[in-house]
Amino acid sequence: MLETLFDTIDTVQIDGDDRLFCLRPLEADPALAASIAVIGLTQPLRLQARPDGLYRVVSGFHRLQAAHAAGLNSVPALIFDAAAETLEIFKWRLAEIAHSNPLPPLQVSHAIARLESGWSQSREDIIRTFFPLMRLAPSPKLYALYAPLHQLSLSLQRLLMQDALSLEIAVALAQRPASDQHCFHGVIQCLRLGKNRQREFWLLLTDLERIEKRPLTELMDKNPLAAILAEAVLTPTQKSDQLKSALMHLRYPTYSAAVDRYEKILRRAKLPPGIQLRPAPYFASDQFHLELSFRSARELRRRLRVLETMLEQGLIDEMTGLA
């Protein structure tokens, strides 16, 4: 059983750069600082005394940062003894965070990185001993999935913590160079992509990378993709639609050409809104669907005349011969 003593510690005695127990990126939290400035620090930090007389943070990295920002000179803390095994404290810390829910993936990743670099724990030991402490199944698949996440850029880690980044995409991006992470983060931000659409765009872009044998950054620098993202007057939704269409043309050129030809035929036919003429999805079958709406016999005759004209001009034949 690890014991702690309560004390009040001068903030200058705490080495905030000692991140041995830190499990997520540290970010300024002005709201917390403002609250601490008004009511003080109500929950003590947990610290461990170090042989050099300073203290390292076990839990409360954000509170310490906010206390500094609020101008506090001392903070209440529960202190682990310097002689306590750091690995035992780390285990306690993991169990504390995961007491009600499994550790979130990003924190698992940081924990794995700490266990490997700080205590030279093997993959097998982490899975067998530490995953249950984090309330995770002892699964090598989970390890492979979560381990790389701490390599994400800070901005992507932030998105992940906010549940605004698909885990699948996060895992893929974590194994990519910083330039690719930055590039796709830019796409997500510019188009305000939700998780499903992130996946859709990621798949299109990474397939194109392989098809065109160009890195992601080079692909996105190319027009029309770069121009769409840079366009000032379009809304994020309009940009997403245009970017998707541009990517589809590159990814599925034969299919996209057929779609373009089909739309050209429809434009030549000058169909009124009361006539809907659609091919089977992806032209997968040879069936076309026609929907007519009308309010009077006269209107129906007008609609039928439009269709007859299409037949006479050979547009229907063109349409059915498209794919």
Interacting residues toward another protein by CB under 8 A:
207, 210-211, 252-255, 258, 280-286, 323
Task: Give SS3 for 10.
Answer: strand
Least distance (Å) from another protein to the CB of residue 140?
Answer: 9
Least distance (Å) from another protein to the CB of residue 201?
Answer: 16
Q: 253 and 261 in contact (C-beta within 8 Å)? A: no
Which amino acid appears at position 272 of this protein? P
Angle at 103 between CA 186 and CA 31, to 5 degrees: 60
For another protein, the closer CB: 223 or 254: 254
For another protein, the closer CB: 118 or 138: 138
Integer-rounded Cα Rg, in Å, for the chain is: 30
For another protein, the closer CB: 300 or 323: 323
For another protein, the closer CB: 154 or 282: 282
DSSP assignment of 173-191 equals HHTS-HHHHHHHHHHHHHH
Q: 156 and 186 in contact (C-beta within 8 Å)? A: no
The span from the CA of 173 to the CA of 175, in Å, is: 5
Which amino acid appears at position 234 of this protein? L
Least distance (Å) from another protein to the CB of residue 289?
Answer: 13
Q: Which residues contact 86 (CB under 8 A, 6 or more apart)?
A: 20, 48, 118, 119
The span from the CA of 81 to the CA of 55, in Å, is: 10
Least distance (Å) from another protein to the CB of residue 211?
Answer: 5
Partners of residue 14 on adjacent β-strands: 55
For another protein, the closer CB: 238 or 287: 287
For another protein, the closer CB: 125 or 207: 207
Q: How many CA atoms lie within 13 A of 125 on its CB side?
A: 10
For another protein, the closer CB: 252 or 294: 252
Q: 185 and 153 in contact (C-beta within 8 Å)? A: yes
213 torsion bin: left (phi>0), alpha (psi -120 to 50), beta (else):
left
Least distance (Å) from another protein to the CB of residue 123?
Answer: 15
Least distance (Å) from another protein to the CB of residue 177?
Answer: 17
Least distance (Å) from another protein to the CB of residue 149?
Answer: 18
Task: Give SS3 for 231.
Answer: coil
